[in-house]
Structure 1
Amino acid sequence: MTFDVRRMLLLAEVARHGSITGAATALNYTPSAVSQQIGRLETEAGQPLLERHARGITLTEAGRGLLAHAERIERELRAARGDLDELAGLRAGSLRLGTFPTVAASFLPLVVREFRRRHPAVDLNVYSARNAGLLDMLAGREVELSLLWDYEWRRLPEDSLEITHLLDDPTALIVSASHRLAGRRSTSFAELAGEQWIVRADHPVAEVLTRSCHAAGFEPAIAYRAHDYQEAQAMAAVGLGIALAPRLALTSLRDDVTTVALGTRGPARRVLLASSRDQRPTPAARALRALFTSAASALLSMRTPLDQAVRQFPGC
């Protein structure tokens, strides 16, 4: 036996008003339309639900039994609407965000702090991985949004991703405080042909180094293969070589090293915020995307090197 839920809710309305006419007036229906729907519900029930008399109606025993279920359905629907309103108003819910290490240690905390201040009831969970892992998380819906990066020679697929370009993260040169280039505002790869290099082992910045040196006409001489940027800074500090790093990886700079810009021809990666095209964004995801966009615009408006802008950003 199946029941049309809308007719059950109509039965509850008739019981509440004590008559078919009263229910029809409240719902802006005609009495005949209400009576017809109740008749169909009685057919579904297989027995009378109402007893009609001069003063209105009373419910039969079957009608009272079905009314109890109808009222329970009404309560559940009100609760469902309340839950959805809470989510829409960012007074409840959760959000899963992917990120990569260098942006998690620099730009991301600015946005997380503001999101939690504005929407403390939303449970924000953040997962860190490399690009390949983050793309897998997006595809598997383990995260709703993810920070990603790419370079001009290897763009991310925009056919499957909804991508927001937040900012460009230029590559900088790390040298010891006593290096011949220390104190220079900028240099070019043509000036670096005779240098020894410290490079991140098995890391995309190694490809940035190789491509940039080849474009300048020389092969980089590798003196040390580091496993993180702090290690690369330490080796640069003692003069073992010089290193490349994205600006966002340099917000915690050692006192015995300095950075030199590589000018407009230096490679820069795009920092992106992405979601799957086939997944509709939740209100929380839309709010977080807007915060990322506004924070990136504020950083760029400071017109200082990106690592310095992050350190100087209000609230840091």
Structure 2
Amino acid sequence: MLHDDARPLFDMRRLALLVEVVEQGSITAAAELMMYTPSAVSQQLRKLEQEVGQPLLNRRSRGVVPTEAGQILVGHARKIVRQMHAAQSDLDQIAGLKRGSLTVGTFPTLAGSFLPLVIRVFKKRYPAIGLSVRSARFDELVADLESGVTGLCLLWDYPWNPFHDEAIRVTEVFRESTVILVARGHPLADREQITMEELRNESWIVRAEAHPVVEVLQRSAHDAGFEPTIGFLANDYQEAQAMVSVGMGVAMVPRTAVALQHPDVRVLSLGPEAPLRRVLLAQRQDKVYAPAEVAFHTTLLEVARERAGDYL
């Protein structure tokens, strides 16, 4: 098959080999991973360079690095290989090779709060469907969805940075508010609702590693006219609650993060000024949805409607 300009299309297997060689930094390592001999890989890459008409790799004593042309082609090839894996996954489902199974992507706060409610109902209704759950960071969730590792996944966004990807269809599941955590003995602990201005002089406990909730805190504090003082970086929300409980500071978290509430922590509302985040169900636009995915989609939205008021 030829392009309009009569140049041949690139061989898919050679593109996949190129991607693996660049990612491994070595022809030998890529060959071992893909169960080829190094000479076979080198031969295929030479043929790909002939197809392209220019060098793709610089051979060095300790491996290989892509040329400028190699970097450009690898960028495109990664997308093509991912799409081919997704196509194979879709075809497997149609052929019945994965019938009755489903893998769902999610993020930790939802995996520890809302999602188990959905899974309980789903398993009761569809006991024959094998359900797997993958909890990961945002970028990993999107990559897993695009490559067909997951059939659908749960994501989130905030009004100032709405999620948009033309290849992914999203459905809003519910909206949840951001709340404030204080120790039971804190002067504000008896209040039901407070304002950010009242927290101006507090020390804040936030999630580490540039977690999205840090941006939520900074935006809220700046709107209230102050710069938050960070007193502790927590690895997860349970650690954050523990530090709040002993008076190390206060914390701002999404409401689903306190599904398991520490006994010495009080949850306070920010009222109308509370930042809201959307929880989204994401699926690929271009695929044929398997029966298990349709069933999970329906169950999830049904449970979300029943619990709509729990997270505001």
TM-score (norm 1): 0.66
Residue in 1 aligned with 2:288?
Answer: 280
CA shift in 2, pair 1:152/1:222, >3 Å? same
In structure 1, runs of 5+ residues without a counterpart are 1-82, 308-316
Tell me whether 1:151 sits opposite 2:158 in the alignment: yes
**Identical-pair percentage:** 44
How many Å apart are 1:97 and its aligned residue? Answer: 0.7
Matched ranges for 1:55-94 at <5 A: 93-94=100-101
- Is the alpha carbon distance of 1:239 and 1:93 closer, same or farther for their aligned partners in structure 2, counting shifts above 3 Å? same
> What are the residue-to-residue correspondences of 1:148-227 with 2, within 5 Å?
148-202=155-209, 203-227=211-235
**Equivalent of residue 249 in structure 1, options 257, 262, 274:** 257
Q: Which residue of 1 aligns with 2:299?
A: 291
Q: Which residue of 2 aligns with 1:306?
A: 311
Structure 1 residue 234 displacement after superposition = 1.1
Post-superposition offset of 1:306: 2.5
Indicate whether 1:230 and 2:235 are aligned: no
- Structure 1 equivalent of residue 276 of structure 2: 268
CA distance in 2, matches of 1:141, 1:169: 28
Q: 2:173 and 2:232 mapped to 1: Cα distance?
A: 33
CA RMSD in angstroms, aligned pairs only = 2.0
Determine the C-alpha separation between the residues in 2 that align with 1:96 and 1:178. Answer: 43
Q: Work out which of the residue numbers 102, 109, 122 in structure 2 matches 1:95.
A: 102
Query: What SS does the aligned partner of 1:181 have?
Result: coil
The residue number in structure 2 matching 1:44 is none
Shift of 1:238: 1.1
| Partner Cα separation in structure 1 for residue 158 and residue 200 of structure 2 | 23
Partner residue in 2 for 1:123: 130
How far 1:94 sits from its partner (Å)?
1.0
Q: Deviations over 1:158-213 (max 9, x none)?
A: 42211110101111100000111112111111111111111111211111111111
Shift of 1:85: 11
Give, in angstroms, the shift of residue 279 of structure 1: 1.3
Q: 1:85 to 1:144 in 2, by over 3 A?
A: closer
Residue number in structure 2 paired with 1:138: 145
Q: Partners of 1:176 and 1:85 in 2: how far apart?
A: 56
| Partner Cα separation in structure 1 for residue 206 and residue 104 of structure 2 | 29
Aligned counterparts of 2:264 and 2:116: Cα–Cα separation in 1 = 26
Amino acid at match of 1:242: V
Q: 1:84 and 1:120 mapped to 2: Cα distance? A: 21
Distance 1:135 1:264 in 2: 31
Change (3 A) 1:159 1:85: closer
SS of the residue corresponding to residue 160 of structure 2 reads: coil
Please give the alpha-carbon distance, in whole angstroms, between the structure 2 residues aligned to 1:256 and 1:297: 31
The 3-state SS of whatever aligns with 1:179 is coil
Match of 1:239 in 2: 247
Structure 2 unaligned residues grouped into runs of 5+: 1-92
1:56-91 superposed Cα distances (whole Å, 9 cap, x missing partner): xxxxxxxxxxxxxxxxxxxxxxxxxxx98999xx9x
Amino acid of the structure 1 residue aligned with 2:250: I
Q: 2:111 aligns with which of 97, 104, 113?
A: 104
Paired residues in the alignment total: 219
TM-score, normalised relative to structure 2: 0.67
* Matched position secondary structure for 2:192: coil
